[in-house]
Amino acid sequence: MNADLRRERESASFHTERLTHLLDGGPEKTRRRREIETLALNDPELQHKEVNFLTCSERYDVAVKKSSLMVRKIQEHAISNPEEIMSFKRYVHRGRPEPLDLHLGMFLPTILNQATPEQQDRFFIPAWNLQIIGTYAQTEMGHGVVVGDIGPKFGFDDVDNGFLKLENVRVPRENMLMRYAKVLPDGTYMKPPSDKLTYGTMVFIRSMIVGESARALSQACTIAIRYSAVRHQSELKPGAPEPQILDYQTQQYKLFPLLATAYAFCFVGNFMRDMYHRITGDMNDGDYSQLPELHSLSAGLKAFTTWVASTGIEECRMACGGHGYSRCSGLPDIYVTFTPTCTYEGENTVMMLQTARSLSLSGCGKWQMASTLSERGTTPSLVMWWPRKSICSQLNSHFAGLIVRPDCASRAKSQQRYLFKSYTRAKSGQRLSGTVSYLNDLCNHIQPQQVAGRPPLANLDNVTRLVEAYKLRAANLVEGAVQSYHVELGCRINKEEAWNSTAIDLVRASGAHCHYVVVKLFAAKLSEITDGSIHNVLCTLFRLYALHGISKNSGDFLHAGIFNDHQISQVHQCVKELLAAVRPNAVALVDAFDYPDAILSSVLGRYDGNVYEHMFEWAKRSPLNQNEVHESFHKYLKPLQSKL
C-alpha cells in the first residue's frame, strides 16, 4: 500500500468499520451488503470488461449479456428483497445504467400496481420471463410503427434509449392498464377514484434518487480525496519536499465541503427510504395523511440533491487536475451516468416549483392551474422525441404492442393537497407538523430584524442554533416569495401570470427549504450516535456543511437579519478552521463509504494508492497503442511531407 495512504489510515481518530456500520444501518446490514457484493463481484461469469476501450455497440452488447446473466443469477441466489435486487444489479453493472433498468424498475411494478387481474395474467408472467421486455415511451407524434435507437448520448452508452413513431395505429382498449383509470368501449375516459393511487412508483423513484445522489457524490469524493493524498506537488516551504496536495487549503476547500455534503445526503437518502416504507405501510392501513408531504419532499430533495451532487462530481474531477479527464479516473463516467437524474423523473426546476407550491400557496381547492412547466411535460428518461400529445388518444386500436399507463394526463392537477394547505393553515394559526412545522412560527420570527438589535451568535458550535438559522432563512424566503406573488397578482391579469412572474423566487424558496431539511436531518442523526469518536468527527462534518452553506449564501442570512456582518466574518473564519479539523480524518472518512475498487472503477481512487503504475498499465491497453505507428500517419501525414 502507498505509504501516504497507510499513514493517513493509521492516524484516523475513529474506527472506520464502525462508521461503515452507521452508514449501512448496523453491522448485520453491512455484512449482508458485502455478501451480495461478493456474489456479484466474484462470480466468474459476471467479470467486468474494461468498457472504456469498447465501441458504443460493443458496450451495449456487454451490457445485454450481463443483464441476461443477472436475471438468472438473481433467481439462482434466491435474492428476493427488492432493495437487495437493486444492490445486486448495481454491483453487476458497477453502478452504470443497464438495458433492463426500465423493464425491472418501472415496467414490472407498474403492471403489478395498475393492471387488472386479467391484464396481470396476460402481461406479468411473460414480462417476468423476459418474453415481453417493457420500456417507457412518454410522448409521440404522427401516425406505422417505427422504432429505433436515439443515437449516441452524453453517457448511457450501455442503454438503448429509443424512439417510437406511430402512424395510423390504434391500440386496443384492453391494453390500457385499467385497474383504476378506465376507458369505456365508447371512448369515455374514467378518472381513477383517487389521484393518490398513482403516486406510488413516482414517489418511490424520486426517494431512491436522493440515495443515488449520496452514492455518486461519495464515490467522486473517495476518488478525489484518495488521489489528493497520494499526489505530491510543488512546495509549501522553500526547499521542503513536495507536500500532498490535500495539504493545500484550496484543495481542502474544494473537497471537504463536498465530503460533508456526501455524508449529509447519505443520511437524507436513508431517511427518504425509511419514510417511503413507513408511509407505504400507513397507506396499506388506509392512512394517506402523510403522502402529500412525502410527495412534496421527494420532489424537492430529488432536485436539490441531484443538482448539488452533479456539480460536485465535476468539482471532484477538476480537483484531480489533468488526470481527472482520463477515463481511467472513473470520474467522467460517474458524471455522465449521474447527471441525467437532474432531468429525468421530473425536471429539477419543475420539482422545485412543485415543492414551492406546496410550501407557499394559499387558496386551497380553488387553485387548479397546471404547474409551470407541468410535470406531464418533463422527461422521464431519454425517450421523448416529439411534442407531447396524450397517448390516450391512440386507444381503441388494433396494435397490441403498446400497454398504456393511464396516469399521464391526470397527474399535474393532483399536487400536494396537504402541503398546499400548509401555508394557509399556518397563517390562520393552526399547528403544522412534519418538515413544514416551521411555518407555524411564520408570524413571529421571520420579520427581518435590525442587525444592531440582534445579539451575536456566541458559539458557532451550537448545532441547534445552526439548524434554527437555516429554518429562519427558509421561512424568510418562503414569506418573501409569497409576498412577491401577491404583488405580482396586483399587476397581472391572472394567477398563472403572477405565478410565472414569481417563479424564480419560488425556486429559491424551495431550495432554502430543502437545504434546511438536509441540515435538520444531519443534526438529528448526530443525536443518535453513541460512539464518541465518530460523534466528534461527524459533528465536525456537520458544522462544515452548515457553516459552508451559510458562507456561500451569506446574502440570504444577512438580508434576513439572521446574522450580522461580524458573525458572517466569523463564519468564513470557522470554515477555514474546520477544513484543518477535517484534514487528518479525510481518507478514513471516504474509506468508511466502503466502495470496493471494482465498483469505483478508478485508477486514481484505488484503495492501495498505487496510482501511477496502474495508470500506465491501463493506458497501454488503449486501441491507439495496438500499433507502433497509427495507420493515419502512413495514410495522410507521410504523403503530405513530400508535397510541402
**Residues classed as catalytic:** 345
Would you count residue 328 as binding its own copies (CB under 8 A)? Answer: yes
Residue from 8, 7, 11, 14 nearest 534 by CA: 14
Q: Does 492 bind its own copies (CB under 8 A)?
A: no
Does residue 324 bind its own copies (CB under 8 A)?
yes
| Near its own copies by CB under 8 A: residue from 489, 526, 558, 598 | 558
Taking the complex as a whole, the smallest distance from the CB of residue 303 to its own copies amounts, in Å, to 11
321 vs 434 by CB, closer to its own copies: 321
Total chain residues near its own copies (CB under 8 A) = 142
Considering only residues 495 to 514 of the shown chain, the ones binding its own copies according to CB under 8 A are 496-497, 500-505, 507
Minimum distance from CB of 258 to its own copies (Å)? Answer: 14
Cβ proximity to its own copies: between 162 and 172 the closer is 162
Contact between 446 and 476 under an 8 Å Cβ cutoff? The reply is yes
Which of 144, 187, 448, 596 is close enough to bind its own copies by CB under 8 A? 448
Residues 122-151 that bind its own copies (CB under 8 A): 128-131, 133, 141, 148-151
According to the binding rule CB under 8 A, does residue 431 interact with its own copies? no
CA distances to 201, 204, 295, 304 from 207, rounded to whole Å, are 10, 5, 9, 12
Q: By CB under 8 A, name the one of 222, 372, 435, 510 that touches its own copies.
A: 372
- Residue 403 · residue 175 · CB < 8 Å: yes
CB of 392 or CB of 558, closer to its own copies? 558
Question: 437-467 in b/e burial notation, b at 16+ Cβ within 10 A?
Answer: ebbbebeebbeeeeeeeeeebeebeebeebb
x-marked contacts with its own copies along 168-207 as a string, rule CB under 8 A:
----------------------------------------
Determine which residue in the list 97, 105, 155, 549 makes contact with its own copies, applying CB under 8 A. Answer: 155
Q: Which stretch binds its own copies (CB under 8 A): 235-243, 268-276, 418-426, 458-466?
A: 235-243
User: Could you give the CA distance from residue 385 to residue 382 in angstroms, rounded to a whole number?
Assistant: 8
Instruction: Candidates 280, 568, 607, 610: give the one binding its own copies (CB under 8 A).
Output: 568
Give the H/E segment covering residue 445: helix 442-445
Binding mask 2-41 for its own copies (x = CB under 8 A): ----------------------------------------
DSSP string for residues in 484-520: HHHHHHHHSSSHHHHHHHTHHHHHHHHHHHHHHHHHH
Instruction: Assess 489 for contact with its own copies (CB under 8 A).
Output: no
Site map for its own copies, 300-319, x if CB under 8 A?
Answer: -----------x--x--xx-
Nearer to its own copies (CB atom), residue 275 or residue 328: 328
Binds its own copies (CB under 8 A): choice among 194, 289, 447, 622: 622
User: According to DSSP H, which parts of 492-604 are helical?
Assistant: 495-501, 503-526, 532-552, 554-559, 565-582, 586-591, 597-600
Residue whose C-alpha cell is 386507444: 395
Quick note: the x/- pattern for its own copies over 41-80, rule CB under 8 A, is -----------xx-xxx--xx--xx-xxx-xx--x-----
Instruction: Report how far residue 284's alpha carbon sits from residue 433's, in angstroms, rounded to the nearest whole number.
Output: 22
- Output the CA–CA distances (angstroms, integers) from residue 54 to 180, 478, 619, 622, 630, in the order listed: 46, 50, 14, 10, 18
Q: How far is the CB of 636 from its own copies (least distance, A)?
A: 4
Residue (168 or 430) nearer to its own copies, CB: 168
CB of 112 to its own copies, least distance (A): 18
369 binds its own copies (CB under 8 A): yes
**Residue 605 touches its own copies, criterion: CB under 8 A:** no
Beta bridge partners of 244: 232
To its own copies, the closest distance from the beta carbon of 17 in angstroms equals: 32
* Residue 369: DSSP 8-state: P
164, containing H or E segment: strand 162-166
The 10 Å Cβ neighbour count of residue 507 is 21
> How would you write 113-149 as a 3-class SS string?
HHCCHHHHHHHHHHHHCCCCCCCCCCCCCCCCEEEEE
Is 631 a binding residue for its own copies by CB under 8 A? The answer is: yes
In the complex with its own copies, which residue's Cβ is closer, 164 or 590? 164
Residue 564: CB minimum distance to its own copies, A: 10
**Contact mark string toward its own copies, 511..530, x via CB under 8 A:** --------------------
Nearest CA to 197 out of 466, 414, 34, 360 is that of 414
Q: Does 430 bind its own copies (CB under 8 A)?
A: no
Q: Give CA–CA dist 542/520, Å, rounded.
A: 10
Task: Give the C-alpha separation, 112 to 120, whole Å.
Answer: 7
**Between the CA of residue 291 and those of 294, 296, 362, what are the distances in Å?**
5, 9, 19
Query: Could you give the 3-state DSSP secondary structure of residue 429?
Result: coil
Using CB under 8 A, which residues numbered 538 to 557 contact its own copies?
A: 553-557
